[in-house]
Amino acid sequence: MSFFKKLKEKFVQEPMEKAIEESMEKKEEKGPVTPEPEETVEEAELLEGETEVQEAEEALEEPDLPNEPDAEAQQPESEEETQPKEANIASKFKMGLTKTRNSFTSKINDLVARYRTVDEDFFEELEEVLISADVGVNAVMEMIDELEMEVKRRNIKDTQQVKEVISEKLVELYYGDEDKGAVEELQTNTDGLTIYLFVGVNGVGKTTTIGKLAHQLKSEGKKVTLAAGDTFRAGAIDQLDEWGKRAGVHVIKHSEGSDPAAVIYDGIQSAKSKQADVLICDTAGRLQNKVNLMNELSKVKRVIEREVPGAPHEVLLVLDATTGQNAMSQAKTFSEATDVSGIVLTKLDGTAKGGIVLAIRNELEIPVKLVGLGEKVSDLETFDAHAFVYGLFADMIEEQTEEE
Ligand SMILES: Nc1nc2c(ncn2[C@@H]2O[C@H](COP(=O)(O)OP(=O)(O)O)[C@@H](O)[C@H]2O)c(=O)[nH]1
Ligand SMILES: [Mg+2]
């Protein structure tokens, strides 16, 4: 099966069919007296694999009236019930990557239109297109080599067909030699408090991401505490406090200028006494001098390690995708100052150069764990390379698979 088709099935068709099937099952169970399932079927039939899928998902849940005993509704989510989420994730990546896709797709289409057959010049220009999307020079070189081999191996002559191989190779490029297709969820503590430490320079989106994550974890039923470890500016403390209020989670804060390690210490004690599941720690990312940064971060980390053995479970470096190569150099500095376990790449929605995801993974060998796809509380997703590539090629995928 073609790769585009596989992506379409994974993110659009299967989830859609599932949603329709489930709504039919619900309808049968409830009998014709309940009006809602009827509506659900109609809605599900209209699905285009876009945001409507989420609506359908919600609609499917609606018929579970609170007082009605419903054995199925009380069961933990089965594999099948998670399917419609795939469509939801794909549509979020599609939305968030609009700028990158528009720029990337038009360049690729233009290239394919100009070169009917695959040759050296075609690859050279393709190299430029990928570099202009911030994929990173080394990653692009690797990619082009792989692509040339694959095109030879499959005896592809028509540039139209190369589009699909590009998308396939981008996914491979992201995963490298590792297990293909594995989505890297955040690590958790199976035995007590999970602690996430957020680091990164000012303005990249640390506090916003913490707010979004707190909201997500809370809606999964987790008890969350936030620690306002960015004590450098009063505004930063208030901002985290505001997110805490919105998400309905507890925030531990001290006054401006106080010792971040002390705030985090208090955060840990509070989280422990409240039996919270997750503590998320904000920090200031002052980069004026690497020695200071290193000292501050290692002090904070020492406190965390001492209070909860095995913590922090993630040290997440937040990078702003719109800053391109600057983000790469920040990543280098921070990895030297502390052990970064994962990257959060924010503001992917604000750049046409979303290829930076691939460069980061390829050059730094640190996994991208979360991506920010907008400013809203729901605009945070676990990074999924397949969904990312779907988002990049969505127009081509939809166009091509319709032709088949
Ligand atoms: N468009 C967009 N804006 C974002 C995203 N994440 C954060 N921001 C914005 O980036 C700005 C700085 O965020 P903030 O959380 O204060 O950064 P911090 O200094 O690292 O804590 C704010 O205006 C956020 O709304 C994102 O994924 N997309
Ligand atoms: Mg902040």
Per-residue model confidence as pLDDT tens digits over 50-64: 444 444 444 444 343
Look at residue 135 and tell me whether its pLDDT is greater than 50.
yes
* C-alpha 361 – ligand 1 centre gap (Å): 22
Per-residue model confidence as pLDDT tens digits over 158-174: 988 898 899 998 888 88
Give the closest residue (by CA) to ligand 1 atom 14: 205
| Cβ 369 under 6 angstroms from ligand 1 | no
| Cβ 98 under 6 angstroms from ligand 1 | no
Look at residue 364 and tell me whether its pLDDT is greater than 90.
no
232, 345, 375, 380, best to mutate for ligand 1 pocket (most atoms within 8 Å of CB): 375
Tokens of 287: 């980069």
DSSP letter string over 152-196? HHTT--BHHHHHHHHHHHHHHHHHTTS-TT---PPP--SSS-EEE
For residue 177, what pLDDT is reported? 67
What is the mean pLDDT of the segment spanning 315-320? 96
* C-alpha 283 – ligand 2 centre gap (Å): 7
| Cβ 205 under 6 angstroms from ligand 1 | yes
Give the closest residue (by CA) to ligand 1 atom 22: 205
**pLDDT confidence bin for 111, thresholds 50/70/90:** very high
**pLDDT confidence bin for 178, thresholds 50/70/90:** low
Tokens of 404: 């088949």
* C-alpha 110 – ligand 1 centre gap (Å): 34
Tokens of 347: 């503001």
* C-alpha 370 – ligand 1 centre gap (Å): 14
Look at residue 288 and tell me whether its pLDDT is greater than 70.
no
40 contacts 60 by C-beta, under 8 angstroms: yes
Tokens of 288: 């004026």
Q: Where are the beta strands (DSSP E) in 31-83?
A: none
CA distances to 91, 106, 392 from 100, in Å: 15, 10, 7
Look at residue 286 and tell me whether its pLDDT is greater than 80.
no
| Cβ 267 under 6 angstroms from ligand 1 | no
Helices then strands (H, E): number in the chain?
Answer: 17, 8
**pLDDT confidence bin for 27, thresholds 50/70/90:** low
**Largest Cα–Cα separation, the chain:** 70
Look at residue 49 and tell me whether its pLDDT is greater than 50.
no
% of the chain exceeding 70 in pLDDT: 83
